[in-house]
Amino acid sequence: MTAAAAVLLTVCFLAECILPGEEIVESIERDAYGKGDKQITAVAEIGYKGKTVEKNVELNISQEELSQEEKLERLEECRKDLPNIIVSGNTNLEHISEDMDLITYHEDTGVSVMWDTEAPELISENGEVLPGEKEDNGYVLLTALLSIGGEETEFKCNVKHVLKVNESNYEKLAEHRISELNEILNENSNEVTVDLPQTFGPEISVVWKKTKEHKGTLIIILIIISLILARSIVISGSKKKAEKRKEEILMEFPGFLDKLVMLLSAGLILKEAVDRITEDYKEHARPYGKKIFYEELCISADMMNNSNASFAEELTSLAQRLEIREFARLSVILKDSLNSGMELADKLENESMMMRYERKNYVQKLGKTADSKLIFPLMIILAVLIVIVMTPAVMQM
């Protein structure tokens, strides 16, 4: 029974701690001075003629106010503590050589502290101790204004500065002088020239340097970039020109094969068929525009007719000039026919059908490439349309 009662009490205790609950309150205690205001979420149950409604309310309870006597007591307590606090890592107030702890708030009393220094070049308002010219730079008067709840009082003390400039701390003094430099230099903005200080104290000299603008280097870099871009443009132009040339040859080549098959089927020999094709081109097609493939073919035909060059050699030369594998394959077939006397018409007809199929695939490939090139302009147009549509709505917001 005892064990069961203990378990029951434990369960009740845990339920009280864990499960949310409500209690009726009639008053709320303020927090002590220094702890700040208190925010409380409460539920107000409002009743009227047997009906009730609940409202969540955020209450802001200010901290407890001090009496004038309590304020004065805290000010006095803070005054007594300050000498022990501000000495910080120094031996005592008669031997100040390290930074002081000039606090701005006394946590034990809640007093705010604002400092003023008689010699900011030796001890700054935030307690930074700067090197001086001598090993004993005399006394520096520090004044603190203590305030709490509208009550104020002053605290004054003399501290002896004994930190001289040396090899380990001159950089600290220089950094402090540089941090104050902009304000000092711009005190009189009517002056045409601004003189920079040449010393930071009797033993610290300063030489000012200005970063040079390397315009020459920039120009050289720009020239190099321009040359690279120009070369890239030239190479790109050459590639496009070569691709266009190849495209034109591939478009003209199947027509040449058809003509060659027709003439060979009519009983002409290979050389006569080629001569007939070139003569027909010169008479009927060239006046309306030159075609690359037929111009190269005319050169080879003229070489054969004027210099008695062999047909096989001219086929090889023509294949090298055209630089397309399709004609290189055709030149091998033609040379084999010249050497073996084999029937050409059927082979060339098959070659013509294959070339037409390849030209069809090539044209389809060009069409797909054109579609992909249109994507970027279409995206730009879409973006412009979105901006045009959205701008009035944005301007009305």
Is residue 385 in a domain?
no
**Residue 336 — φ and ψ, nearest 5°?**
-60, -40
Is residue 369 in a domain?
yes
Is residue 30 in a domain?
yes
Please state the rounded mean pLDDT for residues 72-89: 90
pLDDT band at 129 (very low <50, low <70, confident <90, very high): confident
* Residue 298 neighbours by CB distance under 10 Å: 19
* Residue 327 neighbours by CB distance under 10 Å: 25
Length of the chain, in residues:
397
Does residue 167 sit in the same domain as residue 261? no
Does residue 347 sit in the same domain as residue 362? yes
Does residue 156 sit in the same domain as residue 84? yes
Does residue 317 sit in the same domain as residue 273? yes
pLDDT band at 237 (very low <50, low <70, confident <90, very high): confident
Please state the rounded mean pLDDT for residues 65-90: 89
> With contact defined as beta carbons under 8 Å apart, do 169 and 163 qualify?
yes
Q: What pLDDT is recorded for position 47?
A: 76
> With contact defined as beta carbons under 8 Å apart, do 301 and 278 qualify?
yes
Q: What pLDDT is recorded for position 381?
A: 85
Please state the rounded mean pLDDT for residues 148-172: 82
pLDDT band at 216 (very low <50, low <70, confident <90, very high): low
Is residue 370 in a domain?
yes
Q: What pLDDT is recorded for position 144?
A: 92
Residues facing 96 on adjacent strands: 161
Q: What pLDDT is recorded for position 18?
A: 47
The dihedral over CA atoms of 364, 367, 368, 373, expressed in degrees to the nearest 10, equals 160
> With contact defined as beta carbons under 8 Å apart, do 176 and 130 qualify?
yes
Residue 21, CB-side half-sphere exposure with 13 Å CA sphere: 11
Q: How far apart are CA 286 and CA 294, in angstroms?
A: 9
pLDDT band at 34 (very low <50, low <70, confident <90, very high): low
pLDDT tens digits, one per residue of 249-297:
777 777 777 787 788 777 787 778 888 888 888 888 888 888 887 888 7
The residue with greater pLDDT, 377 or 139, is 139
Please state the rounded mean pLDDT for residues 305-311: 71
Last residue of a domain, one of 65, 89, 118: 65
Tokens encoding 266: 């009519």
Q: How far apart are CA 197 and CA 208, in angstroms?
A: 9
What DSSP element (H or E) covers 44? strand 38-48
Does residue 253 sit in the same domain as residue 338? yes
> With contact defined as beta carbons under 8 Å apart, do 125 and 112 qualify?
no
Does residue 45 sit in the same domain as residue 123? no
The answer, yes or no, to whether residue 187 has pLDDT greater than 50, is: yes
Choose among 54, 18, 25: nearest CA to 40.
25
Question: Looking at the 3D structure of the chain, how many domains does it have?
Answer: 3
Does residue 250 sit in the same domain as residue 164? no
Range of the domain at 162: 68-180
Choose among 96, 110, 103: nearest CA to 82.
103
Q: Which of the given ranges, 116-120, 195-199, 374-378, has the highest pLDDT on average?
A: 116-120
The residue with greater pLDDT, 326 or 185, is 326
pLDDT tens digits, one per residue of 328-373:
777 777 776 666 555 666 666 666 677 677 667 766 776 667 667 6
Sheet holding 151-160, edge to edge: 105-106, 111-117, 139-148, 151-160
Does residue 60 sit in the same domain as residue 91? no
* Average pLDDT value for the chain: 76
Q: How far apart are CA 354 and CA 359, in angstroms?
A: 9
Choose among 128, 159, 165, 125: nearest CA to 145.
125
For the chain, what is the total number of helices (H) and then of strands (E)? Answer: 9, 6
Q: What pLDDT is recorded for position 19?
A: 46
Tokens encoding 240: 């496009």
Q: Which of the given ranges, 99-108, 186-195, 318-327, 379-388, has the highest pLDDT on average?
A: 99-108
Does residue 59 sit in the same domain as residue 74? no
pLDDT band at 14 (very low <50, low <70, confident <90, very high): very low
Last residue of a domain, one of 180, 195, 230: 180
Is residue 176 in a domain?
yes
Does residue 138 sit in the same domain as residue 262? no
Does residue 101 sit in the same domain as residue 170? yes
> With contact defined as beta carbons under 8 Å apart, do 172 and 131 qualify?
yes
Q: In this structure, are strands 111-117 and 105-106 parallel, antiparallel, or unpaired?
A: antiparallel
Is residue 209 in a domain?
no
Burial 42-53 (b: 16+ CB within 10 A, else e): eeeeeeeeeeee
> With contact defined as beta carbons under 8 Å apart, do 325 and 250 qualify?
no
pLDDT band at 43 (very low <50, low <70, confident <90, very high): confident
Is residue 375 in a domain?
yes
Q: How far apart are CA 29 and CA 110, in angstroms?
A: 20
pLDDT band at 136 (very low <50, low <70, confident <90, very high): confident
Q: How far apart are CA 94 and CA 158, in angstroms?
A: 8
The answer, yes or no, to whether residue 114 has pLDDT greater than 90, is: yes
> With contact defined as beta carbons under 8 Å apart, do 185 and 120 qualify?
no
Q: Which of the given ranges, 14-28, 42-56, 335-349, has the highest pLDDT on average?
A: 42-56
The residue with greater pLDDT, 15 or 91, is 91
pLDDT band at 100 (very low <50, low <70, confident <90, very high): very high
Question: 0.75 exceeded by the pTM?
Answer: no
Is residue 9 in a domain?
no
Does residue 277 sit in the same domain as residue 315? yes
pLDDT band at 11 (very low <50, low <70, confident <90, very high): very low
The answer, yes or no, to whether residue 397 has pLDDT greater than 80, is: no
